[in-house]
């Protein structure tokens, strides 16, 4: 308990130190204030952003693209993963295709998205879903592979049907992996949502950053970067909290594969 | 390679190799003080095999880590050949209970045994010879190229013992080394340690919670009390030097010694004097 | 022999089927955005000539490798320092969590302020985006060195550089590789979008040129090249990882069998 409080104090000291450093490098001219404005100006810009309705719309757009894309990717990933791993034939038949498609960077689809959907939400979704889908699918596949054959045989010998086996044997074993997949996919989805806005110009925080950059509004740009960081942090912390809650009953067998 | 009883030669038999004086270890944390080891004194002579046995949870491991220089005692001191121990001394090797976590899984068996030797000013040829000799004497000459995790638990502990032997320590500390292997393997490993001790004349301090093992292996058994640990009694094991699993264990004298140690441990658990 | 043939069949079957399906369904396509695969493939050798490989693919790959290498070295070095000292870790952790959470693509406009739009900008963008997963995973790996292993090392006098090289970094290597793997995907994304943002050569730049000039089959070949590049880099990574972490995979398989 004492150690934890000391750790929090040190962490707070770290944050204060980092902020002071940011302020100092521009105040004392280590880095030009034009490129790296002092903290005070960035926080001023942040406050202005908070007062601007367009900022909240952009934040909403980014979150919509993220959440929708993530939901589609997670649903599709879990369904595809369970189906593929339930049928041994499919497993073998799809392995090479998955290994080939997975590393294809989703940014390769940017020009296609631009042509097909312009700067609509669907462009964002295309990139987000493509990138996040694999994260979920791979974890589900590994998770199902991890099912204890003894448990599976026991379930069979008691005459449990396919659906019951999925529910009582396969799903509980795979769940930790699925949660890991969701956590990774949540982070990736934000990266791709912001990328799409930044590069394609779909409405959202990324697009606002691009506009701030082209109009030389440097403090505003940094303020928006900080907002995306805070968003990323919330998503990471939130995903971990959800993971812990869901898996409270078998923390010890928490699974994760390196992919 | 032929080993003389080198320690016996340099120090003279009977001179104390390890000297533990008034050792105390108190853990402090979150408002609680736990006295794990309390005022412990004993000596181990050069070339002697001493077993420490005590009730479970009596701070045996803490004691061993203090002796090994891995923990700093709260008070008291440990002397190795008359020099105080502060930090792991070069003349000591430790064999831990958790062989799976003490061998490095990314190195093959040969490299595991060789790694500590690379800290010493030895030629490559000499290192190789030490590694080969140590592995041969634990019966694993063929396993040099294997990874530890390809071996059985007993074999892994043999590798850990070989690593300690190749290091040519003055004192070998063993912390419940056979607690995690099956009974058959355990008997083999006990004979291995006993054999190596007789052959090479190393000084061994062997910690165990198994009374039979302590009596079977040791020349002397130190019975520890419950925590805070002190030495309750010393039992001299006057069994013949050549021991074997069949005859020694059924010898009347073995049974007597065993009973005596057992009674002490039971008394220690009850906390009576 | 028969087993091998069967496995080969499984590896090739689905990809062949998919390509054939693409070929057939697109063959009489008149949709400008979905040109026949036949057209894409005949365009391919005209577009990706030796000259183009040298002038566009090579610079992209070199920038990626430079940034990635800088991030790997920096991340492992810094991560080892931070992971080795409990207090340093407590001070740095919150700040690092935030910096990691910033979606890497927003670094492009930030780094452009400092480094202009040349090669150094792209390398800096790639390095500053890739460094976080490497850094944080190294911290985690170094922190998690088994206490029995470090006591063994200490008791045998293995200290300093030897301890770092033979014990700490080796023990952390599975985690480090997990970070490097994440960093590779981020690196490719950043390579492409930094070129889409501002460049005069590179794969990302070329693809955007094709898209803007409505050279659709050429654009498709660009997407294929990016896909191939992603696949090849991931393959190389996989081979290196299998080699360096052969012990780890063996250990895992061994403990799986015994448990």
Residue of C nearest to A214 (CA): C109
As its CATH architecture, domain A37-253 has: Orthogonal Bundle (1.10)
Name the domain boundary from B168, B185, B215.
B168
- Residues near A245 by Cβ (< 8 Å), separated by ≥ 6? none
Backbone φ/ψ region at B22: left (φ over 0), alpha (ψ -120 to 50), beta: left
Mean pLDDT of B47-64: 86
CA distances A218 to A33, A211, A215, C128, C224, Å, are 9, 10, 8, 19, 37
pLDDT at A173 over 60: yes
Q: Is the pLDDT of residue A252 over 50?
A: no
Give contacts of B69 with chain C, Cβ < 8 Å.
Answer: 155
Instruction: Collect all residues of chain B within an 8 Å Cβ-Cβ radius of residue C167.
Output: 104
Provide the domain limits for residue B47.
Answer: 6-91+171-270
- Predicted confidence at residue B273, as pLDDT, reads 52
Using CA atoms, how far apart are residues A51 and B109, in angstroms rounded to an integer? 66
Q: Taking residues B110-129, what's their average pLDDT?
A: 93
CB C35 within 8 A of CB C44: no
**Both B152 and B54 in a single domain?**
no
In this complex, which chains have at least 3 CB pairs below 8 Å with chain A? C
Q: Is the pLDDT of residue C58 over 90?
A: yes
Strand ranges, E, within B146-230? 171-175, 203-208, 220-224
Domain check: are B86 and B19 in the same one? yes
Query: Band of the pLDDT at B242, cuts 50, 70, 90?
Result: confident
What average pLDDT does the segment A188-207 reach?
Answer: 94
Smallest CA-to-CA distance from B202 within B50, B20, B67, B21 is with B50
Q: Which residues of chain A does C235 touch, with a Cβ-Cβ cutoff of 8 Å?
A: 103
Residue B97 lies in a domain: no
Average pLDDT over residues B209-238: 89
Q: Are strands B220-224 and B75-80 parallel, antiparallel or unpaired?
A: unpaired
Boundary of a domain, candidates B151, B168, B185: B168
The mean pLDDT of chain A is 86
User: Shortest Cα distance from B119 to chain C (angstroms)?
Assistant: 7
Distance of CA C224 to the CA centre of its chain: 17
On whether both B181 and B230 belong to a single domain, the answer is yes
Average pLDDT of chain C, as a whole number: 91
Residues of A in contact with C94 (CB under 8 A): 11-12, 14-15
Q: What's the pLDDT at A247?
A: 77
Instruction: Provide the shortest C-alpha distance from residue C3 to chain B (in Å).
Output: 27
Examine residue B1 and state whether it is found in any structural domain, yes or no.
no
Residue B210 lies in a domain: yes
Q: With 70 as the cut, is the pLDDT of residue A255 above it?
A: no
Q: Is the pLDDT of residue A187 over 50?
A: yes
Inter-chain touch C110–A222, beta carbons under 8 Å = yes
pLDDT of residue A85: 83
**Considering only alpha carbons, which residue of chain A is nearest residue C114?**
A35
What one-character-per-residue DSSP string does chain B give?
-----HHHHHH-TTSEEEEEEEEEEEEEETTEEEEEEEEEEEEEETT-EEEEE--TTSSHHHHHHHHTTSS--SEEEEEETTEEP-S--TTEEEE-S-HHHHS-TTS-HHHHHHGGGGGSS--HHHHHHHHHHHHHHTT-GGGTTS-GGGS-HHHHHHHHHHHHHHT--SEEEEESTTTTS-HHHHHHHHHHHHHHHHHH--EEEEEES-HHHHHHH-SEEEEE-SSSB-EEEEEE--S-SS--TTHHHHSHHHHHHHHHHHHHHHHHHHT--
Domain coordinates in residue numbering, chain A: 1-35, 37-253
Chain C residues whose CB is inside 8 A of the A106 CB are: 189
Asked if residue B61 has pLDDT above 90, the reply is no
**Rounded CA gap, A218 and A37, in Å?**
7
Q: Which residue has the higher pLDDT, C229 or B10?
A: C229
Check: CB of residue B261 under 8 Å from CB of residue B223: yes
- How many CA atoms, within 13 angstroms, populate the side-chain half-sphere of residue B164? 30
**The residue to which tokens 């105080």 are assigned:** B84
| Residue listed under structure tokens 């949870």 | B57
Same-domain status, B126 and B150: yes
**pLDDT-derived band at C5, boundaries 50, 70, 90:** confident
- Measured between beta carbons, the chain C residues lying within 8 angstroms of B116 are 156-158
For residue C115, give the chain A residue with the closest CA.
A35
- Compute the residue count for chain C: 259
- Secondary element (H or E) of residue B51: strand B49-53
Give the Cβ contact number of residue C157 at 10 Å.
Answer: 17
| B180 plus B262 within the same structural domain | yes
Q: Are residues B30 and B130 located together in one domain of the fold?
A: no
- Does any CB of chain C come closer than 8 Å to the CB of residue A78? no
Spatial distance between the Cα atoms of C120 and C59, rounded to a whole number of angstroms: 12
Q: How far is CA C81 from CA C74, C75, C141, C176, in A?
A: 11, 10, 12, 14
**A93·C99 Cβ contact <8 A:** no
At residue A256, does pLDDT exceed 70? no
Reading the block at residue C80, the tokens are 């080892």
Structure tokens at A214: 């082209």
Sign of CA dihedral C94, C97, C100, C101: negative
Backbone dihedral angles phi then psi of residue C158, each to the nearest 5 degrees: -90, 105
Q: C156 vs B115: CB contact, 8 Å cut-off?
A: yes
- Note whether C105 contacts A18, CB cutoff 8 Å: no
Whether residue B251 sits in one domain with residue B178: yes
Nearest neighbour of B118 by CB, restricted to C154, C162, C255 = C162
C77-127 pLDDT, tens digit each:
999 999 999 899 999 999 999 999 999 999 999 988 888 888 889 999 999
Looking at beta carbons, which residues of chain C come within 8 Å of B62? none
> Helices C169-197 and C216-244, interaxial angle, to 10°?
170
Peptide bond connecting B228 to the previous residue in cis, omega within 30 degrees of 0: yes
- Count of other CB atoms within 10 angstroms of residue A161: 10
> B121: phi > 0 → left, psi -120 to 50 → alpha, else beta; which?
beta
pLDDT at site A234: 95
Residue B184 has pLDDT above 50, yes or no: yes
Subunit partners of chain C (3 or more CB pairs within 8 A): A, B
Give chain B's domain count.
Answer: 2
Residue B259 counted as domain residue: yes
For residue range C146-171, list pLDDT tens digits in order: 999 999 999 999 999 999 999 999 99
Decide if B96 is inside a domain: no
- Å between C244 CA and nearest CA of chain B: 9
User: Does residue B187 share a domain with residue B69?
Assistant: yes
Taking the C-alpha atoms of residue B73 and residue B63, their distance in angstroms, rounded to an integer, is: 9
CB contact under 8 A, A213 and C216: no
Query: Which string of b and e fits C35-63 if b means at least 16 CB within 10 Å?
Result: bbbebbeebbeebbeeebeeebbebbbeb
- Average pLDDT over all residues of chain B: 87
Last residue of a domain, one of B119, B141, B168: B168
C1-13 average pLDDT score: 83
Q: Answer whether C91 sits within 8 Å of A198, measured CB to CB.
A: no
Compute the average pLDDT of residues C29-37: 86
The reply to whether residue B119 touches residue C146, judged by beta carbons under 8 angstroms, is no
How high is the ipTM of this complex?
Answer: 0.88
pLDDT for the residue C259: 59
pLDDT at B51: 95
Same domain, B34 and B140: no
CB A116 within 8 A of CB C33: yes
| Residue B10 in this model has a pLDDT that exceeds 70 | no
**Sheet containing B171-175: order of strands:** B92-95, B171-175, B203-208, B49-53, B220-224, B231-236
Asked if C234 contacts C215 with a C-beta cutoff of 8 angstroms, the reply is no
pLDDT at A157: 80
Say which of C146, C162, C251 has its CB closest to residue B119: C162
Higher pLDDT, B105 or B230: B105
Q: Mark yes or no for CB contact C233/A233 under 8 Å.
A: no
B99 in a domain, yes or no?
no
- Domains of chain C, with CATH numbers? 52-258 (1.10.3720.10)
Cα end-to-end distance, chain C, whole Å: 33
- B187 pLDDT above the threshold of 60: yes
Flag whether residue A22 sits within 8 Å of chain C, measured between CB atoms. no
Domain match, B38 and B78 both: yes
- Range in A24-28, A89-93, B55-59 the model is least confident about: B55-59
Contact call for C152 and B106, based on CB within 8 A: no
DSSP string across C130-156: HHHHHHHHHHHHHHT--HHHHHHHHHT
Nearest to C149 among B70, B104, B116 (CB): B104
pLDDT at A65 (0 to 100): 95
> For B94, which of C155, C247, C251 is closest by C-beta distance?
C155
The residue of chain C nearest to residue A232, with distances taken between CA atoms, is C101
**Which of C 160-179 lie inside 8 A of B, CB atoms?**
162, 166-167, 170-171, 173
pLDDT tens digit sequence for C130-140:
999 999 999 99
Q: Per the structure block, which two tokens stand in for B22?
A: 């008034």
CA distance C177 to chain B (A): 15
Closest approach of chain B CAs to the CA of C100, in angstroms? 30
- pLDDT band of residue C27 (cuts 50, 70, 90) is confident
Contacts of A17 in chain C (CB under 8 A): 91
**Distance from C-alpha of C130 to C-alpha of C234, rounded to nearest angstrom:** 15
In the structure encoding, which two tokens stand for residue C25, read together? 């369904």
What pLDDT does residue B272 have?
Answer: 61
pLDDT of residue B12: 46
Report the residue from C7, C207, C231 with minimal CB separation from A104: C231
B115 plus B210 within the same structural domain: no
Q: Which residues of A touch C12 (CB under 8 A)?
A: 96
Q: What is the mean pLDDT of the segment spanning A51-58?
A: 93
CA distance linking residue C207 with residue C225, whole number of Å: 10
Do B228 and B55 touch, CB atoms closer than 8 A?
Answer: no
CA distance A51 to chain C (A): 22
Instruction: Give me the DSSP letters along B116-141.
Output: GGGGSS--HHHHHHHHHHHHHHTT-G
Instruction: Locate the chain C residue with the closest alpha carbon to A108.
Output: C223
Q: Do B98 and C248 touch (CB under 8 A)?
A: no
Confidence of residue A27 (pLDDT cuts 50, 70, 90): confident
| pLDDT above 90 coverage of chain A, percent | 47
CB contact under 8 A, C149 and B167: no
Contacts of A235 in chain C (CB under 8 A): 101
Q: What is the pLDDT of residue A253?
A: 42
B181 is a domain residue: yes
The reply to whether residue C247 touches residue B102, judged by beta carbons under 8 angstroms, is no
- Predicted pLDDT of residue A3: 63
Q: How many inter-chain contacts (B to C, CB under 8 Å) are there?
A: 68
Contact residues, chain C, for A212 at CB < 8 Å: 109
**pLDDT bracket for residue B194 (50, 70, 90):** very high
Mutate to test the interface with A, among C15, C82, C103, C241 (most CBs of A within 10 A): C103
Alpha carbon distance A250, B86 (integer Å): 43
Task: Please work out, in degrees rounded to the nearest 5, the angle formed at the alpha carbon of residue B99 by the alpha carbons of B94 and B105.
Answer: 110
More confident residue, A218 or A166: A218
Q: Which residue of B has its CA nearest to C169?
A: B106
**CB spacing of C148 vs B101 below 8 angstroms:** yes
The answer to whether residue B20 sits within a structural domain is: yes
The chains in contact with chain B, meaning 3 or more Cβ pairs closer than 8 Å, are C
Give the pLDDT band (50/70/90) at residue B149. Answer: very high
The answer to whether A219 touches A45, Cβ cutoff 8 Å, is yes
Is the confidence at residue B2, as pLDDT, over 90? no
Specify the pLDDT at position B222.
93
Q: For C180-195, what is the mean pLDDT?
A: 93
Q: Which of C102, C108, C219 faces A228 most closely, judged by CB atoms?
A: C102
Q: Calculate what percentage of chain C has a pLDDT beyond 70.
A: 100
Residue B149 burial (CB count, 10 A): 18
User: Tell me, what's the pLDDT at A249?
Assistant: 65
């Amino acid at each position: 308990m004492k150690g934890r409080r000391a750790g929090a104090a040190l962490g707070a000291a770290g944050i204060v130190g980092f902020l002071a450093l940011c302020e100092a490098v521009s105040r004392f001219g280590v880095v030009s204030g034009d490129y790296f404005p002092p903290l005070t100006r960035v926080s001023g810009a942040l406050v202005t952003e908070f007062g601007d309705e367009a900022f909240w719309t952009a934040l909403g757009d980014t979150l919509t693209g993220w959440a929708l894309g993530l939901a589609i990717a997670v649903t599709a990933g879990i369904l595809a993963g369970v189906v593929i791993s339930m049928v041994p034939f499919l497993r073998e038949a799809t392995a090479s295709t998955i290994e080939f498609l997975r590393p294809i960077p989703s940014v390769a689809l940017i020009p296609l998205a631009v042509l097909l959907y312009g700067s609509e939400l669907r462009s964002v979704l295309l990139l987000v879903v493509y990138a996040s889908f694999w994260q979920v699918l791979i974890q589900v596949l590994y998770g199902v592979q991890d099912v204890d054959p003894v448990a599976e045989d026991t379930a069979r010998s008691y005459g449990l049907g396919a659906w019951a086996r999925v529910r009582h044997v396969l799903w509980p074993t795979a769940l930790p992996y699925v949660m890991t997949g969701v956590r990774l996919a949540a982070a990736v989805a934000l990266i791709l949502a912001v990328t799409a806005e930044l590069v394609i110009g779909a409405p959202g925080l990324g697009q606002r950053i691009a506009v701030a950059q082209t109009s030389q509004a440097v403090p505003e740009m940094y303020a928006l970067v900080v907002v995306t960081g805070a968003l990323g942090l919330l998503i990471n912390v939130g995903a971990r909290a959800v993971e812990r809650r869901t898996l409270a009953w078998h923390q010890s067998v928490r699974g994760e594969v390196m992919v | 390679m032929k080993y003389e009883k080198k320690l016996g030669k340099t120090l003279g038999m009977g001179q104390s190799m390890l000297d533990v004086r008034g050792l105390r270890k108190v853990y402090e944390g979150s408002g609680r003080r736990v006295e794990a080891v309390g005022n412990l004194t004993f000596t181990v002579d050069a070339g002697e095999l001493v077993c420490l046995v005590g009730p479970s949870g009596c701070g045996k491991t803490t004691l061993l880590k203090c002796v090994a220089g891995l923990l700093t005692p709260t008070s008291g001191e440990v002397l190795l050949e008359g020099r105080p121990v502060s930090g792991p001394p070069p003349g000591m090797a430790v064999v831990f209970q958790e062989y799976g976590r003490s061998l490095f899984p990314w190195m093959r068996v040969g490299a595991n045994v060789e790694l500590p030797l690379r800290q010493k000013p030895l030629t490559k040829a000499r290192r190789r010879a030490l590694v080969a000799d140590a592995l041969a004497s634990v019966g694993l000459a063929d396993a040099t190229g294997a990874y530890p995790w390809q071996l059985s638990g007993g074999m892994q502990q043999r590798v850990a013992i070989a690593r300690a032997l190749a290091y040519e320590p003055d004192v070998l500390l063993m912390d419940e080394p056979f607690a995690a292997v099956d009974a058959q393997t355990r008997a083999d490993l006990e004979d291995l340690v006993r054999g190596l001790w007789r052959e090479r004349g190393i000084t061994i301090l062997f910690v165990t919670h198994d009374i039979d093992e302590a009596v079977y292996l040791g020349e002397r058994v130190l019975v520890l009390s419950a925590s805070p640990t002190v030495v309750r009694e010393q039992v001299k094991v006057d069994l013949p030097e050549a021991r074997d699993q069949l005859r020694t264990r059924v010898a009347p004298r073995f049974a007597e010694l065993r009973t005596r140690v057992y009674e002490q441990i039971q008394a220690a658990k009850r906390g009576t004097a | 022999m028969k087993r091998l043939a069967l496995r080969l069949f499984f590896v090739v079957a689905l990809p062949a089927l998919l390509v054939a399906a693409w070929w057939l369904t697109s063959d009489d396509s008149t949709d400008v955005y979905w040109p026949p695969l036949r057209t894409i493939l005949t365009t391919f050798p005209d577009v990706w000539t030796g000259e183009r490989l040298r002038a566009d693919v090579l610079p992209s790959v070199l920038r990626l490798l430079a940034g990635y290498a800088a991030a790997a070295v920096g991340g492992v070095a810094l991560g080892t320092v931070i992971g080795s000292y409990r207090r340093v870790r407590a001070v740095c952790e919150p700040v690092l969590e935030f910096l990691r959470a910033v979606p890497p693509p927003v670094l492009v406009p930030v780094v452009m302020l400092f480094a202009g739009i040349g090669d150094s900008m792209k390398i800096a963008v790639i390095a500053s985006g890739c460094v976080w997963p490497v850094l944080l995973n190294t911290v985690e790996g170094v922190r998690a060195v088994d206490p029995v292993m470090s006591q063994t090392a200490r008791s045998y006098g293995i200290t300093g550089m030897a301890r770092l090289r033979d014990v700490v970094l080796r023990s952390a290597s599975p985690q480090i590789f997990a970070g490097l793997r994440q960093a590779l995907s981020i690196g490719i994304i950043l390579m492409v979008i930094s070129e889409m943002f501002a460049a005069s050569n590179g794969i990302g730049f070329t693809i955007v040129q094709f898209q803007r000039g409505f050279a659709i089959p050429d654009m498709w070949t660009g997407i294929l090249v990016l896909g191939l590049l992603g696949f090849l880099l991931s393959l190389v990574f996989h081979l290196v990882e299998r080699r360096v972490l052969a012990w780890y995979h063996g250990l895992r398989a061994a403990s799986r069998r015994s448990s």
